[in-house]
Structure 1
Amino acid sequence: MRPLTLQSRITLNYTLVPDYFLDNYMPKASGEFVKIYLYILRCLGSGTPAAACDVLKNGCASYSGSDDCFCVSFLADRLNLTENDVMRALKYWENEGLLILTYANASSGSGASDGELTGITLADITMSVEDTFGTAANETAVTSQTTAPAAMISAPEVSVPEVSVPEKPSYTAAQLKEFAANEELSQLLYIAQMYLGKTLTATETNSMIFFYDTLKMSADVIEYLLEYCISKEHRSMRYIEKVAIDWAEHGISSLKEAREYSDSKSEDMFAVMNAFGITGRSAAKVERDYIRKWRETYGFNTDIIVEACSRTIKSTHQPSFEYADSILTQWNERRIKSVDDIKALDAEYDKTRKASAAAAAGNSTGQASRSKSAGNNRFNNFSQRDYNYDELETQFVSRELV
């Protein structure tokens, strides 16, 4: 295939993998896609694609001996993949906003076929982070005020007053020693280590003190903060700190307020409200209680809950949490665990309904047949007498002889 131009908006002297990529993009991407993205970073980390080829040109199908050889075939051969695998990965990362793919057109005069891939540009991942949080994705930016994380801003907004949040301070050795003597804070630090599965670094410890001392969060709110972020598969203290700042900006001071606010921002809440066609407001408390029941008590995933909401609209033509709850309660009693289980239950119901209908039709046909046969003789509409005429004749003769 034709060699591609490979460009970057990131200045690298080594292979740098941003933490934000590892935390937010890598977990949901397939291993092959991740491998291709990391290898492109590796090529750029050598300074130029040519440097990568000078070091790693092992059987590249399109290597022509030039210093600018870099193409889809090179990636496929180097990573033991097909060219289609490489193209699927490139298009995936383009959709994720991490790559910009350039294609030729017939009027460009480049000699490439119309629509042929001619270039790959790596988007600056820190720009994506700034777009999401309104701040640079680096260690010092954590101390600045930020807006809500991307996972939280898609849901309907809760109308609460915003509060000015003080910046994260730098603690002196004397202050840290004083905090170490605080039994409640020490317990929180231990809980944080259990949630994160590691010993806290100095920076992470400072963040915990920031929540407790500067943001004035209570111990139960901080513990719920950790639990909430871990449940969203975010173990980065930087992410946890951004959520904490968002809560502080919205005046969250109690565990009840934290639960209600996080519920209103949850993907489940947004999915249910969207399935019911409810827009322009957040879920009311009774509605949030229903959704929490479906998620936490019944253990249903979002797909099952949305399916129940869709069936509610089809049956009632209006949103009804009570009706959806009746459906989900029945599914819970039938031990439904997936959408496939629902389909199997529907098939079982249809089979039973058809069998009942067939039986009812058979009974109706039999009754109609009997009615028609009896209707041929109007004297057959009563029970017939059964006489023994020989016995009657003998009795009659005997009376006459007497």
Structure 2
Amino acid sequence: MEQLLLCSDHIPLTTSIYNTFIQKYMPDANGSYVKVYLYLSMCIQSGEKSLSITSLADLMENTEKDIIRALHYWEKKGLMVLQRDDTTDTITAIEICNPDTPDSPQSIPANNRITSQPKQKTLKKEDKVQHPRGTDIPAAAPSPGKQAEETAADSLSSQEITVTEEQILRLSKNEDFSWICLIVENYLKRTLKPAEVQLLTYLFDTLHFSKELLLHLYEYCCSLDKTNVKYVQAVALSWAEQNITTPEQAQRQSTVYNTAHAEIARALALGRPLAKIECEYAKRWQDGWHMDLAVILEACNRTMLAIQKADFKYIDGILNNWHKENVHTLQDIKICDEKHNRKKEEAQRQNAGKSPAKNMPAKKTQFQNFQQRNTSKAEIDELEKKLLTR
């Protein structure tokens, strides 16, 4: 990118910032925007001449689009005037204005402003839309029929979420959403990935998660050291299913999850929170049948050994049999197992004591069905003599 021309009518020895900026503009601005403003003020007042968007982005450890977004923000506030190339519309010069008498949009020369409306774009499946935090995310606007087909997902963590181009464009001007993205990046200690930005967009604009609930969501997942986007999505959608709208409600639900639900999910190697129907199973086992958590986990272990997969119907079958036997603790399971083993051994002894000849009728063959002659011993002896004399 070409070098920027920095313009100012004074170059003091020190960098001075107007109190008006600190009192009026700084409190409401994004922290990264403030850093850009302060650094540019220093560059202009010190006579810096070799500065570009690229070098500024490298210095701030941001993307070039983040820097441009900050410049547009201050231009909108009337604290900067951005001069643009007539052909490419790229920024070629920056002028910082006096905060006490900021330029209004009318005072900016017409050739420095974008007067043409952006063209409407029909997004293809592979197209991407720029997010306000500088991350490209896939844009999708599926038809209602397509959305209805996608509602049947295998699990909360694999459920597909979609955001529209209209949502992306609208949130690009939403300072609250940009602030949320910035705080989440601080939690994660890295730049948001495209899938994470898409998830935040969906939760904020489609499910209407509050700022407080979104931040609590990432605080909770970070506390568990589970920041994978699929895990965060599963937790968030689980909260949505349970109509959780405040951090306090989420905290109460998390307390329950961190005990029984977490142990069940771990025993079954789910790698995600329990889905709503799975929570209903767990509630029946604990509240309806009054079984200890250790009993439920034993049923989970036996299920995994028997069929090598998490099947809540199979677990429910085991626990239902124990419920009929009035099993509530591990000691009850031991007694039930001993009773079952005694019945099994008794049945084996009874089967071993029975003679197969007595119990099973001889299978009739064609030879056995032949009508034999009743020959006496004298007749047999006489027959032998005749054969010997031949």
Larger Cα-atom Rg: 2
- TM-score of the superposition, structure 2-length normalised? 0.31
Greater relative CO, 1 or 2 (CA 8 Å, sep 6+):
1
